[in-house]
Amino acid sequence: MSNAEKDARLACSRLSIDLGALAHNWTYLASKAGTAECGAAIKGDGYGTGLAKAAQALFTAGCRTFFTAVPEEGLEARAAAPEARVFVLGGLLPDAAHLYHQAGLIPVLNCVAEIRDWAAYCASIDTPLPAAIHLDTGMNRMGLTPDEAKALSADTNLLGRFEPVLMMSHLYCGGDPDTAVSARQLQRFKDMTALFPGVPRSLANSAGIFLGPDYHFDVVRPGISLYGGAAMDDGENPMKPVATAEARILMLRDGFKGETIGYGASQTLTRDSRIAILGIGYADGYHRLAGTGGPQGPANAWINGHTVSLLGRVSMDLIAVDVTDVPEDACKRGDWVEMFGPHISVDEVAAKALTIGYELLTGLGRRYRRSYINAPQDNTAR
């Protein structure tokens, strides 16, 4: 018996990452972006799918610009795709400019202090290194204010010490196609970037791509859509699912009408029931509110062609599901149950847990037995 087969025997939960679907999603988004370059956000460990594997698959698909959140992610992306540009969205950490330079990382400069530090370092080595400049268009999180941007544009001495290669901002209501917030952000972005003529611009995240060409500019940087999640608040999600989370049935038991199930006695059985106990829980990133105790009611799971509902609260390591209506030969000890994937979307489960697909994906725990399928064969990033 191989080590892989032994691992499979010992796994209570497993996670399958479809790298072919990831590549397909990037190609689809690139086609929607028109003439803009399509980059990729691979922060949060590639939205839970594994940063290095995601970067390699995306590079093979044609992606040449990656966005990470922190320098450690940038180093991993650089190793996985050495020919790509790697931006660090979290900015320039103090006293670390030389480390960014040595690693070939491009900082996204989010405040005046970071700009001064990067400019000073570039001056010290007499080399105008590349950087992106983040503009705050209304989110009040990171980026230069309009007054700071105006002052910077007039400071040719400071700007001349480094090479601005991207002016960027971030949509914060992009998932709502009818909101006026994004339209206001778009105008602010145009006004602020007009101060820096000739520098490429980037505003669109996944949602921004679907808002249309006015938001595309020179570079788009999709995130959640790459990994199969829904970027827009309404309408059909055109993206292919990338991550499939499954749990093994550890045992089957009978429950009787009037009995309660799980912590807090949050659910009372209304009929005699057949119950499957699954080897997964909130320690694996499956949210507690997805169970019966949540205000939206229980999430669904899928087993061998049948949709089933969770029973009771989600525990740290265990979940109960109602398999009363599933034929016995389709629901046996050791069978695998899809918690989310092609039949139960990650966004559907997230909605039951009063959260978003981003949080479920990036919170995937370490106990899953991971496997990667449909990896591109001609991987030039290696």
Catalytic residue IDs: 43, 263
**Greatest C-alpha distance within the chain:** 78
- Rounded distance between C-alpha atoms, residue 193 and residue 200, angstroms: 9
Task: Give the amino acid at 114.
Answer: E
**Residues 183 and 174 sit within 8 Å (Cβ to Cβ):** no
- Rounded distance between C-alpha atoms, residue 303 and residue 294, angstroms: 22
Tokens of 307: 């949709």
Q: Output Rg (C-alpha) for the chain, integer angstroms.
A: 24
**Residues 259 and 311 sit within 8 Å (Cβ to Cβ):** no
Helix (H, G, I), strand (E, B) or coil at 132: strand
- CA distances (Å), 315 to each of 204, 283, 297, 298, 312, in order? 38, 8, 16, 13, 9
**DSSP assignment, residue 279?**
S
- Rounded distance between C-alpha atoms, residue 244 and residue 15, angstroms: 6
- Rounded distance between C-alpha atoms, residue 75 and residue 68, angstroms: 9
Give me the phi and psi of 62, to 5 degrees please.
Answer: 125, -5
Q: Describe the strand order of the beta sheet including 163-168 as a list of residue ranges.
A: 40-41, 65-68, 85-88, 106-109, 130-134, 163-168, 201-202
